Amino acid sequence: MIAQQIETNIADNIQIRLIELNDRDEVLNFLRKHFYPDEPFMIASAQKHPDPEDEEFNISLIAHGTCLMAVQQETVNSILKERIVGVVLSGPKCSDEAEHLFKEAARLGSTTWGKTIGILAHAERDSNVYERYNADRALHIYASAVDGRFRGRAISMRLKEKLKELARQLGYPLLTTDCTSFYSAKVSERMGMDCVNVIKYTDCLDDEGKVVFNPPLPHEYLKTYAMRL
């Protein structure tokens, strides 16, 4: 029922629908092509590719029924097929999220995923959205990406607007996201989300005083956004 409610035509024969468990492999391939190569933390890492725990976490979000994809339908040899052109992956989080993230960062250590979780733990603690908005849970956007050939068509915005509608249907009081990218932050601002915390990358140092992640311009900040639903 939710899938029927959320499906919508947007433009150029593109539709938005829920990501289902059987889409897992296709979505993972899409992330490897169109999310990780442009993700500022990945660009700034020495290994240039995601840790297995990173990929597994993002794909595990599908099970919550809160992930969407934009697809373009095309006919190949008289068979109607779908091509993924954009995704947004989200899942629930609660007021103990910061504590959980700090524990995970300690467990994962100096891996790229561990360093990422460490920065996100600080953002989670300092934004303190639950006290700020008097809420006990939120739907959090963890990852979003658009096929580069389809950028400039507001697909990311449309995906997140549909996600906002879904979050309301499911009874979430808040929609939140951590924007590692200059461009994703701009989308959050255009949606009218509140910027509730900012971390400058050059201020985030490890135990030896070295910058943990230093992605290229224009990516200078990790910004956390929230919106009451």
132: domain CATH number is 3.40.630.30
pTM for the full model? Answer: 0.92
**222 contacts 119 by C-beta, under 8 angstroms:** yes
Query: Quick one: pLDDT at residue 2?
Result: 45
Q: Which two tokens stand for residue 83?
A: 């091509």
Higher pLDDT among residues 190 and 7, named by residue: 190
Domain extent for 206: 2-228
Cα 154 to Cα 146: distance, rounded to the nearest angstrom: 10
Q: What is the dihedral of CA 219, 114, 172, 4, to 10 degrees?
A: 80
**60 contacts 132 by C-beta, under 8 angstroms:** no
Distance (Å) of CA 202 to CA 18, 121, 211, 214: 37, 17, 6, 7
pLDDT-based confidence at residue 5 (cuts at 50, 70, 90): very low
Query: Quick one: pLDDT at residue 88?
Result: 98
Lowest mean pLDDT segment, chosen from 43-57, 58-72, 92-106, 132-146: 43-57
In this structure, are strands 68-76 and 137-146 parallel, antiparallel, or unpaired? unpaired
Q: How many domains, the chain?
A: 1
Where helices occur in 61-128 by DSSP H, the ranges are 97-108, 112-127
